[in-house]
Structure 1
Amino acid sequence: MTKKILIVRTSSLGDLVHMLPAISDIALHVPGAQIDWIVEEGFAEIPAWHPAVNEVIPVAHRRWRKHWWSAETRAARTALRNNLGARQYDIVLDMQALMKSVWLVRQTQGVRHGLDRQSAREPLASLFYHVKHTVNFWQPAVTRQRELAAAALGYTYTGKPDFGLEAITDGVEIQPYAVIMPSASRDDKLWPEDDWQRVFERLHEHDLDLKLLSGSPEETKRAQSLVAGNSRAQVLPRMSLTEVAGVLAGARIMVGLDSGLTHLCAGLGRPTIGIYKASTPVRTPLEGPAYTASLGERGSAPSAETVLSAVEQALAFDESTHRSIGNHS
């Protein structure tokens, strides 16, 4: 018998990547599950990558909030409300527990599940669920998502996280380049330029070219400055998430600041080193089937020596053993 499940998890990039193993668990443990997923339009590619997702329902909250009361936005919100109201789900599972996700949950038809007051990031959200679940807050995000899905759907999961990204990685040959993510939306996340240069030199010693990712024009400018005069480095143009995922899938290694794309690379099963400076890896460590190193801590960036040591371990990684490390300081 088909069990219709609606996942509410709209953003952001890293959080959506962390959600993918829970989707794999549901598909494995709930026979006949039909999984739909509401997601912010800019990230709609991510749930579409997972083979167990039946339908992706885009929402444009980030765009709408700039012109919330315009005729166009009101019409789009009405269309979404009618779309959700016409569907009947067995379970509506809010994986976000924020008031902005509750706004969507309240427009759905089905038994609404979510985190209880002690577990939710915004405790007020718990008032709007029919069934509330306790999930320990201070544990990795992937684990929290897997535990919430298991509690809502009545199963016990086992094994390492399965991100379900084989459609991107299957048949892709690893190429002699490293992906670098040196930019961030906040200056307090940035790592010193001299330390980056030492990492670049070490990667070149291993005969690897560099492909740098960036987002905004300011980030692109910073990345270009970082590799000015380096003939073996390229700052990539803006691409779709699927195109970026393809670049990551072919990489020998990635070294990046704590960002959604760094977490995506780990989920794709490529050796990945994350540099944490303004956030803690306790709740959002890199996770994936290959080597991962989550280095640093809020207010304490890792040294160049620590990152270089991780680079050596990552490049020595033997995929057949699937060795990995979690959090390092």
Structure 2
Amino acid sequence: MTTKILIVRTSSLGDLVHMLPAISDIAAHVPQAQIDWIVEEAFAEIPAWHPAVHEVIPVAHRRWRKQWWSARSRAERAELRANLKARQYDVVLDMQALMKSIWLVRQTKGLRHGLDIRSAREPLASFFYNVKHRVKFWQPAVTRQRELAAAAFGYTYQGEPDFGLQSFTRNTAIEPYAVIMPSASRDDKLWPASDWQAVFDSLEKHGLTLKLLSGNANETMRAQALASGRPLAEVLPRMSLTDTARVLASASIMVGLDSGLTHLSAGLGRPTIGIYKASTPVRTPLQGPGYTASLGERDRAPSAQTVLSAIEQALPRKNRESVF
């Protein structure tokens, strides 16, 4: 008998990547699970990557907030309400536990599961669930999501997290380039240009070209300034998340600030070094099947030498030997 499941987790990029192992666990432990997932429209590609996700239901809350009472926004919200009202789920699992996710949960039909008052980031959200689960707060996000899913469906998960990204990694050749993510959603996460130049020097000595990512005009300008005067460096045009994942999947290494794309690289199993400056890696460390290093701490950015040492550990031996 099919178990119809609705996952509610709308954003952001890194948080959605952290969700993927929990989806793999549900698929492995719940017989005939049919998993739908509500997600912000800008990130709708991410759930679709996972082979266990049956249907992606996009919402546009970020866009609606800017023009809440416009005719288009009202019509789209009405269409979403009708869509959710027409569906009956066995389990509705809110894996965000914010009031913005509760707005969606309340429109669904099914037994509603979520975090209890001591576990939720916004405790008020817990009052809207039929079944509430206790999950320790100060542990990695991937672990929290796996534990919540396991509690909701009554199983015990085992093994390393499976991000379900085999469609990108299967039969994928690794190319001699490094992906760099020098930008983040907040300026207080930025790392000094001189430190980036030391990293670029090291990677180029290892025989790697550099591919810099950016998400908007300001980030593109920053990346271009960092790459200036380096013929082996290029700033990639803005791409879809799927095309970006393909670039990451073939990289020899990825070095980036604490951003969603850095976490995606780790989930893809590529050697990934994350630079933390405005947040702690205790709750959101890089996790994946390959080498990862989550360096720095809130208000204590890692030194260039610390990152260079991690690069030496991450790169294959043949690349390290090529320096000498």
Range of TM-score over shorter length:
over 0.9
Give the secondary structure class of the aligned counterpart of 1:144.
helix
Mapped contact 2:38–2:59 kept (Cα < 8 A): yes
Question: Cα deviation per residue 1:201-221 (whole Å; 9 max; x = unaligned)?
Answer: 000110000000001100100
Q: What is the Cα deviation at residue 185 of structure 1?
A: 2.6
Whole-angstrom distance in 2 between the partners of 1:93 and 1:186: 30
Aligned residue for 1:265?
A: 265
Whole-angstrom distance in 1 between the partners of 2:183 and 2:260: 12
Mapped contact 2:266–2:292 kept (Cα < 8 A): yes
Aligned residue for 1:170?
A: 170
Mapped contact 2:277–2:299 kept (Cα < 8 A): yes
Matches within 5 A, 1:142-291: 142-291=142-291
Amino acid at match of 1:118: R
Question: Cα deviation per residue 1:185-238 (whole Å; 9 max; x = unaligned)?
Answer: 322101111111111000011000000000110010010001101000000000
Give the secondary structure class of the aligned counterpart of 2:168.
helix
Mapped contact 2:40–2:61 kept (Cα < 8 A): yes
Deviant stretches of 4+, over 6 Å: none
Amino acid at match of 1:271: P
Amino acid at match of 1:31: P
Mapped contact 1:212–1:223 kept (Cα < 8 A): yes
Amino acid at match of 2:168: I
Aligned residue for 2:131?
A: 131
Whole-angstrom distance in 2 between the partners of 1:162 and 1:184: 26
Q: What is the Cα deviation at residue 317 of structure 1?
A: 7.2
Work out the percentage of aligned pairs sharing the same amino acid. Answer: 78
Mapped contact 1:252–1:270 kept (Cα < 8 A): yes
- Unaligned 5+ segments in structure 1 are 319-329
Give the secondary structure class of the aligned counterpart of 1:199.
helix
The alignment covers a number of residue pairs equal to 318
Amino acid at match of 2:95: M
Aligned residue for 2:21?
A: 21
Aligned residue for 2:105?
A: 105
Question: Cα deviation per residue 1:273-307 (whole Å; 9 max; x = unaligned)?
Answer: 00000000000000000000000000000001100
Aligned residue for 1:301?
A: 301
Matches within 5 A, 1:2-13: 2-13=2-13
Amino acid at match of 1:287: Q
Matches within 5 A, 1:17-166: 17-166=17-166
Amino acid at match of 1:104: L
Q: What is the Cα deviation at residue 43 of structure 1?
A: 0.2
Mapped contact 1:291–1:317 kept (Cα < 8 A): no
Whole-angstrom distance in 1 between the partners of 2:53 and 2:265: 20
Mapped contact 1:7–1:38 kept (Cα < 8 A): yes
Question: Cα deviation per residue 1:247-271 (whole Å; 9 max; x = unaligned)?
Answer: 0001000000000000000000000
Whole-angstrom distance in 2 between the partners of 1:289 and 1:222: 31
- Unaligned 5+ segments in structure 2 are 319-324
Whole-angstrom distance in 1 between the partners of 2:145 and 2:185: 25
Whole-angstrom distance in 2 between the partners of 1:75 and 1:69: 10
Q: TM-score scaled to structure 1, two decimals?
A: 0.96
Mapped contact 2:185–2:259 kept (Cα < 8 A): no
Q: TM-score scaled to structure 2, two decimals?
A: 0.97
Mapped contact 1:277–1:297 kept (Cα < 8 A): yes
Amino acid at match of 2:197: Q
Higher mean C-alpha displacement, 11-20 vs 71-80:
71-80
The alignment's C-alpha RMSD in Å is 0.9
Give the secondary structure class of the aligned counterpart of 2:262.
helix
Give the secondary structure class of the aligned counterpart of 1:305.
helix
Whole-angstrom distance in 2 between the partners of 1:304 and 1:245: 26
Whole-angstrom distance in 1 between the partners of 2:187 and 2:37: 33
Amino acid at match of 1:50: H
Amino acid at match of 2:143: T
Mapped contact 1:271–1:317 kept (Cα < 8 A): no
Amino acid at match of 1:91: V
Whole-angstrom distance in 2 between the partners of 1:227 and 1:83: 47
Aligned residue for 2:321?
A: none
Whole-angstrom distance in 2 between the partners of 1:34 and 1:157: 19
Whole-angstrom distance in 2 between the partners of 1:247 and 1:117: 41
Whole-angstrom distance in 1 between the partners of 2:63 and 2:224: 29
